[in-house]
Structure 1
Amino acid sequence: MPDTVRDVFFQTYNLTGIDVLNKVYEHPLANRYCASFAKFAGDHLQEDPYYGHLILSAFRDFFRNIVALYPNYQKYKFNCVGSIAYHFRELLERVVIEQGMMPGIIDKDPMRGLITYHRKEML
């Protein structure tokens, strides 16, 4: 992480490196804690290429470590639910295409899709 990025991050959240490590390794729900900083990355995406590279790298890791483990995954559309996928949709779709998949539904919240599905099933 570039020094300038780190300094702005720590100033914005009034944190130190020790604070972050403590929250991630000593407290529950580290994933939510880390995800809470996504807005910061999104707000600064145009200011420094570091943010885009970081997000692309995370999405590529996700594909390599999870999605690519499924047999013939490329023959399916990639659908995803969650605020990270939704807010960084353009970067995620770029990685999806790089990995040989077609982008599908990328939604912020699962409720709309669940309601639509269950309404169809009830008819």
Structure 2
Amino acid sequence: MILIADGGSTKADWILLDSLGKVVLKTRTEGLNPAVFPGDLLKKRVEENKDFQFYKNKIEEVYFYGAGCGTKKPTALLKSILESFFIKATVVVKEDTYAATYAVTTKPGIVCILGTGSNSSYFDGKNIINGVPSLGYILMDEASGNYFGKRLIRDYYYKRMPKRYLKKFEDQFDVDPDVIKRNVYKENNPNTYLAHFAEFIFRNDRNAYSDKVLEKGINVFFKTRILTYPQIKNVPVHFVGSIAFFAKDIIEKVAKKYDVELGSIVRRPIDGLIEYHRRKINLEKI
């Protein structure tokens, strides 16, 4: 049996395939970003999933594709946790850019992630080449959920948000400054906490203000994470993630502005991952 995971900071989707590639189980855990969460919390989130208990000793391979798995130390941490839980399995942990790529293309292209965080990479048809390493939600993550969440909080406090949206924002979120500061500076998951404010843009009717916020952030992402690739004029650009999915119209507008060819825009890469691993299973049988 093969267990596949698409993991972010907010959640991780898991799919269990049998030896024929049939889906046996679909389940979900809370986010498992090893660059953000401590080891004991990661371990707890895996162990708390009741669906794993019946199958854990039957699983032979685990493939985890996740945010925060682009550098050695956090990747090794999560790998050791998964190996200690799925004791009979070979465990492979890769960055989420691999999941995004496998989900949208088998040909050369630039693949972008816009979810709780953001990232991009170039796929040459065989290898995934990262451009600029991601430094996370404080220093980077342009056009991500936490990027837009920070923008909305600032606009609310600086009164740059239209008046009729100020009240809506107050009704939907706890905007007490002490609550915000505690969650950002003292609690776990500050990037996920910030990202949930971005829901305001998509939970309410889109308008001139929200479109301006989205367009500015996506413009920055194009400039820093897409236009910097020398292959940009020769390959399509694909997007994966909830922010990308719901802001598709803005992405199309900005892509047209920069004369960039758009490829697929997919909300969740897990379905593409299933097909990728099914192909691997079939090839191994040949």
In the TM superposition, what whole-angstrom CA distance separates every residue of 1:88-120 from its partner, at most 9, and x where no partner exists? 111122212222212111111111111122223
- Residue 102 of structure 1 pairs with residue 261 of structure 2: yes
Q: CA RMSD in A?
A: 2.2
- Which one is further off, 10-19 or 70-79? 10-19
Task: Report what 1:114 is aligned to.
Answer: 273
- Which one is further off, 25-34 or 65-74? 25-34
Identity of aligned residues (%): 25
Read off the aligned partner of 2:168 and give its amino acid letter.
V
Q: How does 1:1-123 map to 2 (within 5 A)?
A: 1-4=160-163, 5-46=165-206, 48-123=207-282
Change (3 A) 1:20 1:98: farther
> Any conservation in 1 of the 2:162–2:209 contact (CA below 8 Å)?
no
Read off the aligned partner of 1:83 and give its amino acid letter.
S
Change (3 A) 1:87 1:3: closer
> Which has a greater percent of strand?
2
Distance in 1 between the 2:177 and 2:233 partners?
39
Distance in 2 between the 1:28 and 1:67 partners?
31
Change (3 A) 1:74 1:116: same
> Any conservation in 2 of the 1:78–1:96 contact (CA below 8 Å)?
no
> Which has a greater percent of helix?
1
Equivalent residues, number: 122
TM-score after normalising by structure 2: 0.38
Distance in 1 between the 2:175 and 2:186 partners?
16
> Any conservation in 1 of the 2:183–2:190 contact (CA below 8 Å)?
yes
Distance in 2 between the 1:65 and 1:27 partners?
30
> Any conservation in 2 of the 1:45–1:52 contact (CA below 8 Å)?
no
Distance in 2 between the 1:87 and 1:115 partners?
23
Change (3 A) 1:62 1:31: farther
Distance in 1 between the 2:252 and 2:276 partners?
24
Structure 1 residue ranges without an equivalent (≥5): none
> Which entry has the higher C-alpha Rg, 1 or 2?
2
Runs of 4+ in 1 over 4 A off after TM superposition: 25-28
SS where residue 117 of structure 1 aligns?
A: helix
